Amino acid sequence: DARVTQTPRHKVTEMGQEVTMRCQPILGHNTVFWYRQTMMQGLELLAYFRNRAPLDDSGMPKDRFSAEMPDATLATLKIQPSEPRDSAVYFCASGPGPGQGSYEQYFGPGTRLTVT
């Protein structure tokens, strides 16, 4: 049963520190998404990739957030410098993609980030 994996599962850091979150999409999936979940804002799309190319990162604060896919098995989301308002659960999701006739997305377990 293939699943999206994310590391770390929990991260506590001080304001101003760099945070890097990693995601391994399901093998063969061509689309990767980063979401942020908070009680106030719900599930927000931050960025997404198709075939490792960034297609849309309009939901991401560009001054401090960056998302990359160094290869097909790794997606990263970095925050530098982190701020208390970045505290949230960050989910990665992957899907086969429209090229394979599928629009489904499967979520990883999330990284719970706390910035003090």
Residue in 79, 88, 91, 111 binding other proteins, rule: CB under 8 A: 91
**Tokens 């009680």 belong to which residue?**
39
| CA-wise closest residue to 113 among 22, 12, 8, 6 | 12
Rounded CA gap, 13 and 60, in Å?
20
81 vs 109 by CB, closer to other proteins: 109
Interface stretch with other proteins, choices 14-22, 45-53, 67-75, 76-84 (CB under 8 A):
45-53
The verdict on 54 binding other proteins (CB under 8 A) reads: no
Total of chain residues touching other proteins, rule CB under 8 A:
21
Intra-chain end-to-end CA distance of the chain, in Å? 37
Least distance to other proteins, CB of residue 100, Å = 11
Residue in 11, 23, 90, 95 binding other proteins, rule: CB under 8 A: 95
DSSP string, 39-71: TTTEEEEEEEEETTEEEE-TTS-TTTEEEEEEE
The verdict on 28 binding other proteins (CB under 8 A) reads: no
Contact yes or no for 13/115 (Cβ under 8 A): yes
Give the binding site for other proteins (CB under 8 A).
31, 33, 42-43, 45, 48, 50, 55-56, 91, 95, 97-98, 103-110
